[in-house]
Structure 1
């Protein structure tokens, strides 16, 4: 989930940032009481053993996966945020949670978790304590559930600070979790949320009082987390591009790109915002995308769409995460809307602030670039990421192993997604080996301190016991002999 200094950042900051009416904000004393209850519950919980931790994580997972509750959460999420598609959110809630359960199944997260007799090292998993989970309106149930399950699996308590728009969905999710906790005999104070109305002061107080902050959403929230004085994991900016080489099968690549571009009305930070197509396959690829429901706009229509998407440099809430026909009507393109497009396409040649379509759009709008060859495609993507999206990931269709490694070596990305529907693959899928997550680290390129998919390891401390072993002092020539042979002593 993601955005840097861009129109997308401004829009998502506006939609997801805490309420600034601090006069009505929960005061620090309220937050202190919530944290204290969490701390008391967590102190007993972390000592209860692996079975209890697993039970709590399973209870939180079933709270969102149970079909009737999942449907209520999906419908409420779209009703109250106005973002996305309820059926896709239903699928996301189920698949992301099921995948996370798969990743956590049988994993030891408390007590001794590893022994290395040769090195004399024993590793002990320890809880971090109370986790402040900052969550966005784009995934108001799936993201908090993911963080809660990971945190509980590792013996922690969690306090969620949802976006104002996502408050009702998060509150309902926690009600469902507490109902499962009651059945399992788990203390409900292990999972709490800030009271309404959520403002900057309460969120800042929570960050300061917690032991760990995990922030997903607007870059303003991520920056607040990093400057809170508490250890924090935050995510970088999304603005994914995919490269289509001349070796790609157009129909297959178009089907996967369309699936990714339209899922949940492109609320995901992993949804393609741009596709860079090699010249040799350009016309065939545009035809294939059109066959998947894409409609390519002309220059006049593109200008109207730009005016509708951005107001004073900010993404319009009237277009964000809406379906393509609604966006077309908002842009005054009734003839396009009448064609019931799945997504809209615009051609572009540049990138940066003067080319807003090169940035994140949080909507089923796909920017199309033509490249001379693969090397030029890499240059275009590098330029796009120089503007927005560095660190996240890149997609490629029609790549051999050498090209995939080249992309992973030359581009500022933490993931290279080969021949897959990008937004379904980056956060883990059942047909790739990435761990399931809704929060993708972007490394130092994206201003983050991690480049993996956020998972249970970020919710653990590890204590290491070091035993004395037989001394092993290496010979200098064994380590530097090659260097001496090349340059001398």
Structure 2
């Protein structure tokens, strides 16, 4: 069936069926590729978009089309994040026997899933297709990418670059297909017809992925909460909070939405945040921001998302001083009556005063119970007891310690987290996994089990049940 002959708007089912047929044929062509062949393909896919000259062009093109974020943030994602992700997985064994457990006499063989249906958000449309694409192909799958309509040209540009590289490597270019006329209907059809959904985007779209009838890997809502305790290096913390808060103008759901300062260092740390370009809004300015950022039903104003401070200020009718890089609103509550406690997707940060680490943990739990439960939180601290208390007592899948949250929780060169843009949030966020989603989530596994040299022995009742028997007598 010729995809070009089908109107995706009038017949989305047939249109997606034609794309899936092409994608499946391409996947079957590489199903028996060697590890070396697979790894060369993903090297080519990254080089096609991240090479000097092209990365700059893609970054500017993305900003021009989406009007979200800034050139510097887009360039870092397309030029460095894609390279770091490739480096993170290039030495992984994804073909043949990938794990062995000699003590259990078990071997695990990797096999492809088939056609991956991927959703790409408007906030990260430059690197998401590449990162999801190489994770898919690493598992010898093909991928069809459904972009947000606001980023459809960026998605086409990036997919075309990867397709050209695949073709030049002698592989089917249809290993990567981008939907060029995106709509809710085509996205829903893709999720119904593919073999595995990899969903990154708004909560409604992730919910639709889980309801599609196709096995899905989704991510929860972000709303990162950051604690700074009295043992922290305050200058380092202030700089890293600024880096995280302003990266790509807070397009990432991992941007620092709320920062909790322990009472003992509150004033000193606030001064340092101001020195980093933070401006503390008055009560009147906070009210103006709130009225501009949300409507009465707390739907976020998309015109405020990932915009420069001066544009946000102009829309809200406030006048922060020159040199302001992010806005600080003082907050003490959480929930819908305190919307600044939620995700803002903008260079606006809520600031809280916490009495001690226990109070910071309580605030974190309450803030993320409103939005962002299961996603991420962070702490600037040199006190291992405080770090582990926070980690043990919060409903979070990731705790970034002394690192800029937005640049770290999806993996970076300074930590060991898996490189991805798909962050599982566990049952807290309505997801099936807590970890950073990678190629390992995009394969089938065959477990080969041989008899043990000696049978296992079931322990005696005394050893197996211990004192429980007496308690239940």
Query: After TM superposition, is the score higher than 0.5?
Result: yes
Superposed CA deviations along residues 150-198 of structure 1, whole A, max 9, x for unmatched, are 00011000000010011111100011112211321111111102231x2
Report what 1:3 is aligned to: none
> Distance between the aligned counterparts of 1:359 and 1:418, measured in 2?
22
Structure 1 residues 280-299: aligned runs within 5 Å: 280-299=264-283
> Distance between the aligned counterparts of 1:483 and 1:417, measured in 2?
41
Superposed CA deviations along residues 16-38 of structure 1, whole A, max 9, x for unmatched, are xxxxxx99355211111110111
Structure 1 residues 36-435: aligned runs within 5 Å: 36-196=21-181, 198-312=182-296, 313-334=298-319, 336=320, 338-435=321-418
* Preserved contact between residue 8 and residue 186 of structure 2 (Cα < 8 Å): no
* Preserved contact between residue 258 and residue 351 of structure 2 (Cα < 8 Å): yes
Q: Residue 335 of structure 2 aligns to a residue in which SS? A: coil
Larger deviation, residues 31-40 vs 313-322 = 313-322
TM-score of the two chains, using structure 2 as the length reference:
0.95
> Distance between the aligned counterparts of 2:161 and 2:10, measured in 1?
25
* Preserved contact between residue 163 and residue 175 of structure 2 (Cα < 8 Å): no
Deviation at 1:114, TM superposition (A): 2.4
* Preserved contact between residue 245 and residue 278 of structure 1 (Cα < 8 Å): yes
Q: Residue 33 of structure 1 aligns to a residue in which SS? A: helix
Deviation at 1:477, TM superposition (A): 3.8
> Distance between the aligned counterparts of 2:121 and 2:229, measured in 1?
35
Q: Which runs of 5+ in 1 are unaligned?
A: 1-21
Q: Residue 116 of structure 2 aligns to a residue in which SS? A: strand
Q: Which runs of 5+ in 2 are unaligned?
A: 1-6
* Preserved contact between residue 62 and residue 125 of structure 2 (Cα < 8 Å): yes
* Preserved contact between residue 218 and residue 431 of structure 2 (Cα < 8 Å): yes
Deviation at 1:488, TM superposition (A): 7.0
Q: CA RMSD in A?
A: 1.6
> Distance between the aligned counterparts of 2:395 and 2:208, measured in 1?
24
Superposed CA deviations along residues 383-410 of structure 1, whole A, max 9, x for unmatched, are 1011001001111112422222211211
Deviation at 1:481, TM superposition (A): 5.2
Report what 1:16 is aligned to: none
> After the TM superposition, which segments of 4 or more aligned residues of structure 1 sit over 6 Å from their partners?
none
Q: Residue 165 of structure 1 aligns to a residue in which SS? A: helix
Superposed CA deviations along residues 332-390 of structure 1, whole A, max 9, x for unmatched, are 113x1x52310000101111111111111100101000111111111111110110010
Report what 1:451 is aligned to: 434
Report what 1:436 is aligned to: 419
Report what 1:27 is aligned to: 12
> Distance between the aligned counterparts of 2:347 and 2:10, measured in 1?
35
Superposed CA deviations along residues 393-449 of structure 1, whole A, max 9, x for unmatched, are 111112422222211211000011111111111011111111111111101000000
- Paired residue total: 465
> Distance between the aligned counterparts of 2:144 and 2:465, measured in 1?
55
**Structure possessing the higher relative contact order (Cα contacts under 8 Å, 6 or more residues apart):** 1
* Preserved contact between residue 208 and residue 229 of structure 1 (Cα < 8 Å): yes
> Distance between the aligned counterparts of 2:132 and 2:409, measured in 1?
17
* Preserved contact between residue 322 and residue 363 of structure 1 (Cα < 8 Å): yes
Deviation at 1:116, TM superposition (A): 2.7
Deviation at 1:251, TM superposition (A): 1.4
* Preserved contact between residue 256 and residue 405 of structure 2 (Cα < 8 Å): yes
